[in-house]
Amino acid sequence: MEVKAYLVGGGAREVMRAFVNQISTDKLQHFVFDIDIAVEGDAIALAEALADEYGGALIRNDRFRTAKWIKETGYSIDIAMCRREEYPIPGKLPEVIGEAEIYEDLLRRDYSFNAIAISISKDDFGVLYDPTGGVGDIFNKTLRVLKPLSFFEDPTRMIRAIRYSVRLNYKIDEETSLLLLQGIEESYIDQVSPERVRYELECILNEDFWFGILWAMHTSNLLSALHPEWNQLPTVSGSDTEVLELGIRNQEELLEQDMVPPWLVRLSWSLVSVRIEALWDVLKRLGVHKRLAESMLEAREKFDEVAARMNHAGFSPSRIYRVCQEYARKTLLFIAFNSYLEKNTEPLRSNLMKHLRELSPSRTVLPGERLISMGLPAGPLVGKVQEELWWRKIDGELPDDNAAEKAARELIERYLSRPIV
Ligand code: CTP
C-alpha cells in the first residue's frame, strides 16, 4: 500500500536490548509479548488489507486510529497511525490531534527506550529511528522521560517507570527521579481512573518480578499514593512469594475453572495487611470488579472463622464438604491463597483445595426420578436425599450402583418415617 511502517514499542526496545547485550535474537520471543507497528498513513486500512490477505480478525479503535489484528493462533499485532497527541485533562487518555511522521510519534511516548522505531518498509528495512537517545540509555541501563510534563499528563507512567526499572534492572535518571518524586508527593495519580489503575496493577502482577515491583512502589510511596491505607506489604521476604507462586502453579486448573486469574490471587495476598475496615475502599480505588472485590473482602472477614473450623488434619471428605458448602467458592479460594502468609496452615489449605477440586460442586449419585420411583415424594426431600448420598459417596461408602440404591432406600425410609413439613 506504499505506506511507511515501523516496529515500535516493546518490540523495537527488545531488538535493541538484544543487540546491546549481545543476546541472540532467537531469544526475543521470551521478551516480546506484543508487537506494535506504527504506520505513516491509514493504519486501519492497512490492517484491513492484511486481514483480507492473511486472515484473522480485527478490533478497530477509531478514536486512536489503531487496529488489533488477531491471528487464529491467538497472537496479535497492534497497528497504529503515527499521531500527534494532546492531554486536555491530565490523567485522562490523550486526544489525537492529527497524523504525524514517525519522529513526532516517537516524541509523544513515555521513555527514551520506548521511543525507538525500526523501519519494516521495503525501501529502508532495518533502519533505526532513535530521536531521543534511547539506544544510549539502553547502553547505560537508564530510564528517562522525554519531557518534564510526562508524569503530570499521564501519571500511569509513574507506575510504568517503577515496573520497567525493576523488570529491566535499570536506574531511573536523576531528573526523571525528581519528576517522579514530585508526581508522588503531589498525588498526580489521583487523576487516574480506577480502571486505568487496575490495568497497571494487572500488568505488574503478571510480571515475573511482581513482588519486587510492588516493593519498589511501596518504598517510593507510590502504593500509598494509590490509596493511603495501602501503606504496607504483608511480608518482606521473597521466599513467601516463592511459596505463593508454587501454590498458584499447582492450582492453575482450579483457578482457570473458577475464572480467577493468578494476578488477582497475588493482589488479594498483597492486600492482607490492609485494615479490614478500609479494604473495600482500597479495592474500589484499585478498580477491582465488584463481585471479585466482594469475595476478597469476605475472604478477609471469614478467614479466622474458616481457619478455626478447617485447619485440622484427618477430617472426612463429607465433613470438609459440609463446612465448606457454607461459603462461596471464590471466598474459599482467596482464603486458601492468603493463608500462605500464616504459619502452620497446611491442613487448612489442603482441606479447602480438596473441597474446591474434588468435592464441590456435588454430583448426582442417583437421579431424582429414580428416588421418586422408589417412593420419595417430589419436592425438597429429593434434594436432601441426593445431598446425603453425595456425602456418603465422597466418604467412599458407595462403591457401586447397588450400594447407592441400598443407601437411598434406607434414607427414604428414614425421611418418610419423619413427619413431612
Ligand atoms: N506508551 C506510552 N505511554 C504509556 C503507555 C505506552 O508512551 N502510558 C507507548 C510506549 O512507547 C510503549 C508503547 O506505547 O513502548 C506500547 O505500550 P505497551 O504495549 O504498554 O508496552 P510495551 O513497551 O510494548 O512493553 P511490554 O509489553 O514489554 O510491557
Q: Within this chain, do residues 79 and 199 fall inside the same structural domain, yes or no?
A: no
Ligand 1 atom closest to Cα of 157? 8
Whether residue 231 lies inside any domain: the answer is: no
Q: Within this chain, do residues 165 and 213 fall inside the same structural domain, yes or no?
A: yes
Tens digit of each residue's pLDDT (9 = 90 or more) over 302-330: 999 999 999 999 999 999 999 999 999 99
Q: How confident is the model at residue 419 (pLDDT cuts 50, 70, 90)?
A: low
Residue 29: pLDDT above 80? no
Domain end: 226, 254, 288, which one? 226
Q: With pLDDT > 70 as the criterion, what percentage of the chain qualifies?
A: 99
* Radius of gyration in angstroms for the set of CA atoms belonging to the chain, rounded to a whole number: 28
Higher pLDDT, 27 or 115: 115
User: In whole numbers, what is the pLDDT of the chain averaged over residues?
Assistant: 94
How many residues does the structure list for the chain? 421
CATH number of the domain encompassing residue 51: 3.30.460.10
Encode burial over 94-118: b for 16+ CB neighbours within 10 A, e otherwise: bebeebbebeebbebbbbbbbbbbb
Query: Residue of the nearest CA to atom 25 in ligand 1?
Result: 10
- Rounded to the nearest angstrom, the gap between the alpha carbon of residue 302 and the centroid of all alpha carbons in its chain is 24
Per-residue three-class SS string for 222-238: HHHHHCCCCCCCCCCCH
Tens digit of each residue's pLDDT (9 = 90 or more) over 369-418: 999 999 999 999 999 999 999 999 999 999 999 999 999 999 999 888 86
- Interatomic CA distance for residues 246 and 420, integer angstroms: 50
Task: Say what the pLDDT of residue 410 is.
Answer: 92
Whether residue 182 lies inside any domain: the answer is: yes
Whether residue 71 lies inside any domain: the answer is: yes
Q: Within this chain, do residues 49 and 179 fall inside the same structural domain, yes or no?
A: no
Q: Grid coordinates representing 52?
A: 483480507
Q: With pLDDT > 90 as the criterion, what percentage of the chain qualifies?
A: 89
Residue 63: pLDDT above 90? no
CA of 124 to the centre of ligand 1 (A): 24
Whether residue 11 lies inside any domain: the answer is: yes
CA of 187 to the centre of ligand 1 (A): 22
Q: What is the mean pLDDT of residues 14-26?
A: 89
Domain end: 140, 167, 190, which one? 140
Q: Within this chain, do residues 200 and 169 fall inside the same structural domain, yes or no?
A: yes
CA of 114 to the centre of ligand 1 (A): 7
Helical H segments across 169-286, by residue range: 174-185, 194-205, 210-219, 222-226, 238-250, 252-257, 262-270, 276-285
The closest of 252, 238, 173, 171 to 208, measured between CA atoms, is 238
110 lines ligand 1 (CB under 6 A): yes
Q: Within this chain, do residues 212 and 261 fall inside the same structural domain, yes or no?
A: no
Task: Say what the pLDDT of residue 31 is.
Answer: 76
- Interatomic CA distance for residues 338 and 300, integer angstroms: 9
Whether residue 194 lies inside any domain: the answer is: yes
Residue 178: pLDDT above 80? yes
CA of 160 to the centre of ligand 1 (A): 9
Number of domains the chain is built from: 4
Task: Say what the pLDDT of residue 71 is.
Answer: 86
Give every CB contact of residue 268 below 8 A, 6+ residues apart in sequence. 296, 299, 334, 337, 338
CA of 90 to the centre of ligand 1 (A): 18
Say which DSSP state 351 is in.
Answer: H
Q: What is the mean pLDDT of residues 349-367?
A: 93
Domain end: 174, 196, 226, which one? 226
User: Which CA distances in Å does 382 have to 141, 322, 392, 401?
Assistant: 68, 18, 16, 18
Task: Say what the pLDDT of residue 264 is.
Answer: 98
CA of 194 to the centre of ligand 1 (A): 19
Query: Residue of the nearest CA to atom 5 in ligand 1?
Result: 110
Question: CB under 8 Å, gap of 24 or more: what pairs does 307-315 form?
Answer: 307/335, 307/339, 307/342, 307/345, 307/348, 310/347, 310/348, 310/351, 310/352, 311/344, 311/345, 311/347, 311/348, 311/351, 312/347, 312/351, 313/347, 313/350, 315/351
Whether residue 421 lies inside any domain: the answer is: no
Q: How confident is the model at residue 198 (pLDDT cuts 50, 70, 90)?
A: very high
Pocket test for ligand 1, best of 82, 109, 152, 162 (most atoms within 8 A of CB): 109
CA of 112 to the centre of ligand 1 (A): 11
Higher pLDDT, 343 or 25: 343
User: Is the CB of residue 80 less than 8 Å from the CB of residue 71?
Assistant: no
Whether residue 232 lies inside any domain: the answer is: no
User: Is the CB of residue 230 less than 8 Å from the CB of residue 272?
Assistant: no
User: Is the CB of residue 388 less than 8 Å from the CB of residue 371?
Assistant: no
Q: Within this chain, do residues 149 and 135 fall inside the same structural domain, yes or no?
A: no
Task: Say what the pLDDT of residue 340 is.
Answer: 96
Q: Within this chain, do residues 116 and 14 fall inside the same structural domain, yes or no?
A: yes
Q: Within this chain, do residues 255 and 327 fall inside the same structural domain, yes or no?
A: yes
Domain coverage including residue 155: 141-226
Whether residue 151 lies inside any domain: the answer is: yes
Task: Say what the pLDDT of residue 420 is.
Answer: 52
156 lines ligand 1 (CB under 6 A): yes
Element (H, E) at 152: helix 150-153
- Interatomic CA distance for residues 66 and 42, integer angstroms: 9
Report the amino acid identity of residue 362.
S
Task: Say what the pLDDT of residue 237 is.
Answer: 83
- State whether residue 155 is helix, strand or coil: coil
Q: Within this chain, do residues 145 and 246 fall inside the same structural domain, yes or no?
A: no
CA of 162 to the centre of ligand 1 (A): 13
Q: Within this chain, do residues 351 and 384 fall inside the same structural domain, yes or no?
A: no
User: Which CA distances in Å does 316 have to 105, 313, 320, 336?
Assistant: 64, 9, 6, 19
Task: Say what the pLDDT of residue 25 is.
Answer: 77
- Interatomic CA distance for residues 27 and 22, integer angstroms: 11
Task: Write down the pTM of the prediction.
Answer: 0.91
Specify which residues 4 forms β-bridges with. 40
Ligand 1 atom closest to Cα of 11? 24
Q: Within this chain, do residues 150 and 275 fall inside the same structural domain, yes or no?
A: no
CATH number of the domain encompassing residue 151: 1.10.110.30
Query: Residue of the nearest CA to atom 24 in ligand 1?
Result: 10
Say which DSSP state 173 is in.
Answer: P
Pocket test for ligand 1, best of 104, 114, 137 (most atoms within 8 A of CB): 114
Q: How confident is the model at residue 69 (pLDDT cuts 50, 70, 90)?
A: very high
Query: Residue of the nearest CA to atom 17 in ligand 1?
Result: 9
114 lines ligand 1 (CB under 6 A): yes
Tens digit of each residue's pLDDT (9 = 90 or more) over 202-256: 999 999 999 999 999 999 999 999 999 999 999 988 889 999 999 999 999 999 9
Give every CB contact of residue 76 below 8 A, 6+ residues apart in sequence. 34, 35, 68, 69, 70
Would you report the helix, strand and coil content of the chain in percent, each value rounded to 5?
55, 10, 35
Q: Within this chain, do residues 186 and 315 fall inside the same structural domain, yes or no?
A: no
